[in-house]
């Protein structure tokens, strides 16, 4: 099994990044994580994560209190899931960060 991980910077200052982790087995993509992280108080903090843990593709919205709000997303193809997750984070990272900083509650 092979694991690849890489980052994409979302802002000019380098305080906002996208972490992408792929697990590949015998040439087949078997697991993905697409996570938006922000450098808050000198620590990389996860704010939004897309993955297929628990057997289905979903988004976890993190809260400052340490909770996760899970939303299932109806995409079964992992390549399409990566594209969806990456585009959503690129389009909405500023919104996600503001919600996180305000300490939102569902």
Evaluate whether 68 touches 47 at the Cβ level (below 8 Å). no
Phi and psi at 88, nearest 5°, equal -60, -45
Question: Is the pTM here over 0.85, yes or no?
Answer: yes
Nearest to residue 18, comparing CAs of 41, 37, 31? 37
Local mean pLDDT, 10-residue blocks, the chain (106 residues)? 95 97 93 97 96 93 93 94 97 96 72
Tokens of 9: 């910077």
Evaluate whether 46 touches 36 at the Cβ level (below 8 Å). yes
Q: Domain residue spans in the chain? A: 2-101
**What is the pairing mode between strands 68-72 and 16-25?**
unpaired
């Amino acid at each position: 099994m092979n694991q690849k991980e890489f980052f994409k910077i979302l802002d000019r200052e380098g305080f906002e990044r996208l972490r992408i982790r792929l697990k590949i087995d015998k040439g087949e993509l078997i697991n993905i994580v697409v996570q938006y992280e922000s450098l808050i108080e000198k620590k990389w903090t996860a704010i939004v994560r897309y993955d297929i843990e628990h057997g289905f593709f979903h988004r976890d919205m993190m809260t400052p209190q340490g909770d996760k709000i899970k939303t299932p997303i109806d995409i079964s193809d992992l390549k399409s899931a990566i594209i969806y997750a990456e585009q959503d984070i690129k389009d909405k990272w500023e919104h996600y960060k503001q919600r996180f900083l305000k300490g939102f509650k569902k």
